[in-house]
Amino acid sequence: MLIRSEFDIQFQMARRAAMVAMLHLHPSLERHVRTGNVLVVEHLEEGVVPGFGELIGTAEYGDSFGNRCSRFVAPEGLLRVSGTSTIEVDGLAEEAGAEARQAAIEELPCEVLQFLLPSRYCEVDRFMPVAQDLFGWMKPGWERAAAIRDWVHEKVRFDYQTARPTKTAMDVFTERVGVCRDFQHLAVTMSRCQNIPARYATGYLGDIRWPYTGAGDFSAWYEVWLEGRWWTMDARHNEARAGRVLMAVGRDAADVAITTSCGNAELRHFYVESHELLEDGTVVAPVAAV
């Protein structure tokens, strides 16, 4: 299956400011990339058509999680970051690993250990007894990991209006309402409490082979380490889906902000979509919503 993902995001910069973007596809997808995966940063002066602005140079680096980051200096005025990529993937929904075993801590690879630690939005140290009460009696491994995801999915309600940048897993646990990232933070936290390494993931999740759900956006999900590999989990949607396109992973949302500006950046335009593409370049329309 071919997936085309694209974004066009514009900010009005009150003044010159350094920015960091995590808008490339994740390095693990590199061998799947057919076209694109280029970040275009433009300065759009008054009246300039998007795509014809002055190009801003970017520098790339890998962060400590292996994500591909870009940094640049945005001049005062209108800034546009955009890109289009086509990848070829098998088109299968993410696997469930019903038999996946949970490794003993001593068998975890070293680089995985950090995903057991508390982080800004995942207060593992405060959640230990709560997670133990809820899940400690269950069979370790996939069963317990999936139960955590299901519990969060069941107990938390989605509501865009309730998003706030400082919301932590504990806030989600008590308020029981949030957006993508909030669902995943709570599930990540409780997984770690149960010695299941868990990391936060961000990327595209378009309505591919799936009923149409509305305008596109980036999405968040998470991954758990079982049976020697990472498995995709999504406490918000909780459905096996084809068409996730990974951009970045980290301990939690603090590590994988799509764009970070060190000055006043006012969002003016936001377009993010991903679609299935036929070999001839035709976009496959999403299934009509039910």
Residues that bind a second copy (CB under 8 A): 17-18, 20, 59, 61, 63-65, 69, 71-73, 104-106, 110-111, 113-114, 117-120, 122-123, 125-127, 129-130, 133, 155, 161-162, 164-166, 170, 173-176, 195, 254-255, 262
Smallest separation (angstroms) from a second copy to the CB of 183: 15
- Could you give phi then psi for residue 175, rounded to 5 degrees? -85, -25
Burial class (CB in 10 A: 0-12, 13-18, 19+), 129: exposed
Smallest separation (angstroms) from a second copy to the CB of 200: 13
Measured from the CB atom, the residue of 10 and 119 that comes closer to a second copy is 119
Smallest separation (angstroms) from a second copy to the CB of 95: 27
**C-alpha dihedral sign at 254, 69, 188, 176:** positive
Smallest separation (angstroms) from a second copy to the CB of 140: 13
